[in-house]
Amino acid sequence: MLSKNTVKFIKTLHQKKYRNQEQKFFVEGGKSVLEVLNSDFEVELLLVTDSFYESNQKLLKSFDFELLIVTQKQLESVGQFQSNDSALAVVKMKANQYFERSEEELVIALDDVRDPGNLGTIIRIADWYGIKHLLFSRQTAEFYNPKVIQASMGSFTRVNFYYGDLKEVIEKWRCPVYGAFLNGINIHKLENFKPGILLMGNESNGISVELASSVTSKLTIPGSGNAESLNVAIATAIFCDNFRRLSVP
């Protein structure tokens, strides 16, 4: 049975303050919940509907977290999805951990990307391209925001990240740094691509002045229309696709 206290507890996790305090977050929807169950994240509590339980009995029986059978209505009342007929998991956060970059690795760095939907979409893009590590400035949206988790479509389980001082990390790594600028080199003319950091800037202001000087390759996505800019997740994807084209002949 779903107690009032459990309902109240999950609802507090809608707020960043309580997520940080508890070091827990929640994951909604059947697909994402299955991905988190199959990942190295530690699930603490799982709410499932009858039908989700039936379809996944074998998997669910291999775990020993608290499992509650609830109704679709209850799932929808504790979570943020308009419609959820499957599951919601309460999961332990991972510690914010610095990582080293290996030589042939492309890392995505985000300089104050504020929109959770954009962050989640970028995580999904990273996962598509096999990018394992992301660097976030401290003002970047929170990885465990429910909208980030939702937009990442389960990909949040397959990337590692570090929130910290981008300038410091970039200086330490001494690798190529690619950044989007309106007056850079046409990305279609780029040759001799070497993996390094793909630095993407804030939705309104782009890459900060402080970091712009660290960019070793200023790149531009060629267009011929009248839009002033592209959405940051869109631009990230176009860069990754071009880097992939240049890396895998």
**Under 8 Å CB-to-CB from 53, ≥6 apart: which residues?**
60, 69
Q: Give the torsion sign (CA, 200, 151, 19, 158).
A: negative
Q: Which of residues 147-176 bind its own copies (CB under 8 A)?
A: 151, 153-155, 158
Query: According to the binding rule CB under 8 A, does residue 217 interact with its own copies?
Result: no
User: To the nearest whole angstrom, how small is the minimum distance from the Cβ of residue 186 to its own copies?
Assistant: 9
* Listed residue (138, 128, 136, 194) closest to 160, CA to CA: 136
What is the nearest approach in angstroms of its own copies to the Cβ of residue 231?
Answer: 6
What would the x/- binding string for its own copies be over residues 58 to 97, using CB under 8 A? ----------------------------------------
Q: Is 56 in the site for its own copies (CB under 8 A)?
A: no
Q: How far is the CB of 242 from its own copies (least distance, A)?
A: 7
Cβ proximity to its own copies: between 38 and 57 the closer is: 38
Nearer to its own copies by Cβ, of 154 and 211: the residue is 154
Strand partners, 202: 206
From 126, 83, 95, select the one nearest 23 (Cα to Cα). 95
- Residue 207 CB, nearest distance to its own copies (Å)? 19
What type of residue sits at position 66?
A: E
The CA distance from 28 to 19, in Å, is 15
Output 200 or 237, the one with its CB closest to its own copies: 237
Rounded CA-CA distance 218/182 in Å is 9
Q: 25, 149 in Cβ contact below 8 A?
A: yes
DSSP letter at 15 equals S
Q: Does 228 bind its own copies (CB under 8 A)?
A: yes
Q: Which residues bind its own copies (CB under 8 A)?
A: 117, 121, 124-131, 151, 153-155, 158, 188, 221-231, 233-234, 237-238, 241-242, 244-245, 248
